[in-house]
Amino acid sequence: MRRLVRWELLLLVILAVTIVINSAMSPMFLTIGNQINLFQLSIEKIIVALMMTLVIINGEIDLSVASMMGLAACAFGWLFQLGVPAGVAIPMVLALGLLGGAFNAFWITVIGMPSLVVTLAMLIGFRGMARILVEDRGITGFPEWFNALGQQPILGPLPLALLVFAVLFVILLVVLHRSGFGRKVYVIGNSAEVARYSGVAVPRVKALLFIASGFVASLAGLLYTARVSAVRGDVALGFELDIITMVLLGGVSIFGGKGTLWGVLLSILIVLNLRNGMALANITGHLQTGVIGLLLILSVLVPNLVQSARLSFRPGSAAR
């Protein structure tokens, strides 16, 4: 626990430094408008990152989320083209998200395959389904009210997606850190066998997480569609990288069992501010992606190096 607190302190310092540098570069940086805008540009990713936090703490991974976002967007566009009213299409797409998550869960919990392989396959699979639906078309012309959901503030200056993020954060915070279910998530991530020997229904917890992950991804896909008012086959392509980076940078262990949503929130803020700062400094979006990739590696490498350094300085202790 203490190690985690220290990691989060480090994140806080990094965040403060980023904010100070950014504010020095642009006086506009700290305005509410810019901060909301900053959230708005990556809002779908960070929504999915919240759910991913639980999945990774549980000792699993879901690489298919970005493709599910794409599939949800494309399914919505396809339904809309078929003449299904947007109001009806939305619940259908959300149901599709649940179904996709359940599909992943089946292979993982019933067949017993590793989630890495299953969701890697569905990273391709869901994307493929999205392409079957829209092929190489672009779909636009959604109703005004739908696009407005993605673009107009609905509560004070806050747009819907930001509210969804806030609500989801609070819900997951309570679920993960306060509820019995959240406790089981941690225990399974720590050791699935200990959980089983303590009477925890391990497959059920895992299945629920993957189903929820599919659902949240489809919701994020819809929000994205509303925000950009258009659908194409490559919606959210490659987003999984950013999402997983944010989670791991937040101090969540890739091996499960460790990490908090607060840490992930901090790392989300860092990543957003970093991106914004880089944009202010005229650094291209592609270079930003590279920096995120580097961050991802460092977020695991640095603790590893620190740990092995600490071990080798402690005389008499075993190397592993």
Partner 1 sequence: MTGWLQSVHPQTLRVTALALVLALVILFFGSQIDNYYTARMFNRISTSVAIILLIAIGQALVVITRNIDLSVGSIVGFTAYLVGDLLVAQPDLHPLVVVAAAMALGTALGAVNGLLVAYGRVPAIIVTLGTLALYRTLLVEYSDARSITTANLPKWVVELPQATLFSIGNLDIRVTFAIALGVALVVHLALTRLRAARRLYAVGSNPDAAAIAGINAERVVFTAFLLSGALAGLAGFVFLARFGNITVVAGLGFELKSVAAVVVGGVNIFGGSGTVIGVVLGTTLVDVIDNSLTRWALVSEFWRDALLGMLILIAVAADTLMNRYLDRLRRRRHMSELSAGTAPLPRETG
Partner 2 sequence: MPEPVLAPPVLTLAGVAKSFALTAALADVSLELMPGEIHALVGENGAGKSTLIKIMTGVHQPDEGTIRLAGTAVTITDTQAAQRLGIAAIYQEPMVFPDLDVAENIFISHRDQGLLMDWRRLHEAASSQIARLGVTLDVRRAASGLTLAEQQTVEIARAISLDVKVLIMDEPTASLSAHEVARLMAIARTLKDQGVAVLYITHRLEEVFELADRVTVLRDGRHISTRPITEVTPDALVRDMVGRAVDHFVPKAAAGPHGELVLRVRGLAREGVFTGVGFDLHAGEVLCFSGLVGSRRTDIGLALFGIQPATTGTIELDGRAVLIESPEAAMRHGIAYVSEDRRKLGLAMALPITANISLASLRRLLGKLGLIDRRAELAMAEKHKERLNIRTHSVALEVGKLSGGNQQKVMLAKWLETEPRLLIFDEPTRGIDVGAKTEVHAIINDLAAQGVAIIVISSDLPEVMALADRVLVMREGRQMGIFAIEDATPEGIMSLATGERPADAA
Chosen residue from 138, 178, 309, 310 binding partner 2 by CB under 8 A? 178
94 contact choice in partner 2, partner 1, none (CB below 5 to 8 Å, kind-dependent): none
For residue 271, CA distances in Å to 70, 90, 156, 296, 302 come to: 22, 30, 25, 11, 17
For partner 2, the closer of residues 128 and 257 by Cβ is 257
Q: Are 26 and 277 in contact (CB under 8 A)?
A: no
For partner 1, the closer of residues 141 and 293 by Cβ is 293
Rounded to whole angstroms, the Cα distance separating 101 from 99 reads: 5
Chosen residue from 81, 191, 229, 289 binding partner 2 by CB under 8 A? 191
Rounded to whole angstroms, the Cα distance separating 94 from 89 reads: 9
Rounded to whole angstroms, the Cα distance separating 273 from 23 reads: 10
231 φ, ψ (degrees, to nearest 5): -130, 135
The reply to whether 201 sits near partner 2 by the rule CB under 8 A is yes
The reply to whether 281 sits near partner 1 by the rule CB under 8 A is no
The reply to whether 254 sits near partner 2 by the rule CB under 8 A is no
For partner 2, the closer of residues 178 and 310 by Cβ is 178
* Closest CB 253 distance from partner 1, rounded Å: 11
Chosen residue from 82, 199, 313, 319 binding partner 2 by CB under 8 A? 199
Dihedral of the CA atoms 114, 186, 211, 167 (nearest 10)?
Answer: -140
Dihedral of the CA atoms 163, 169, 171, 173 (nearest 10)?
Answer: -160
For residue 172, CA distances in Å to 139, 182, 219, 264 come to: 33, 9, 15, 12
Chosen residue from 180, 286, 314, 315 binding partner 2 by CB under 8 A? 180
Rounded to whole angstroms, the Cα distance separating 203 from 196 reads: 10
For partner 1, the closer of residues 44 and 240 by Cβ is 240
Chosen residue from 290, 306, 310, 311 binding partner 1 by CB under 8 A? 290
Q: Which residues bind partner 1 (CB under 8 A)?
A: 61, 107, 111-114, 116-118, 120-129, 131-132, 135-136, 233, 238, 240-241, 244-245, 248, 254, 284, 286-287, 289-294, 296-297, 300-301, 304-305, 308
